[in-house]
Amino acid sequence: MKKRIIKFQLLIAILAVISSAPSFAGDAAAGKEKAALCLTCHGEGNTVVGVGTPIISGQYRDYLIHAMKSYRSGARKNVIMAGFSANLTDKDIEDIAAFYSEMNSQLFTPTE
Ligand code: HEC
């Protein structure tokens, strides 16, 4: 019985350490500010998006990070996105990815 309690306390201690560790998931609030320009094309939820401009709200975080890094490195070629990703740091990309991935893609309903 005593052993069980000690194990439980150990588990709590480990969880406390894990939850207090710095997050590498990106900061969505900072991402929102950095995404001001992105929002003019990609919209928020599913607004503003025009033909040929993908909805990225609600997209998986890892996908967004991969896509932006691919544009930045030139591995994924697109004239528009090459320009908008060129000056982003890894931290910018993580923050913007956090912002978009945490957004509900159905936040707004289509207007047409
Ligand atoms: C002038 C309009 C415009 C702006 C501003 C813009 N984008 Fe894009 N974005 C596009 C278009 C068009 C595509 C589709 C490109 C392609 O076919 O690869 C795209 C593609 C993407 C994709 C890939 C989506 C997918 O489904 O694969 C991501 C991620 C993305 N943009 C993020 C961003 C971020 C982050 C910013 C701001 C730093 C930004 N975009 C600014 C027009 C824009």
- The answer for residues whose C-beta is within 8 angstroms of residue 11's C-beta and 6 or more apart is none
Distance, first Cα to last Cα, the chain? 65
Task: Tell me the per-residue pLDDT of 56-82, one tens digit each, with 9 for 90 and over.
Answer: 999 999 999 999 999 999 999 999 999
Ligand 1 pocket (Cβ < 6 Å) reads: 35, 37-38, 40-42, 52-54, 56, 64, 67-68, 78, 80-81, 84, 96
Task: Tell me the per-residue pLDDT of 26-42, one tens digit each, with 9 for 90 and over.
Answer: 999 999 999 999 999 99
Which pair of tokens denotes residue 85?
Answer: 């990703």
Q: How far apart are CA 105 and CA 100, in angstroms?
A: 9
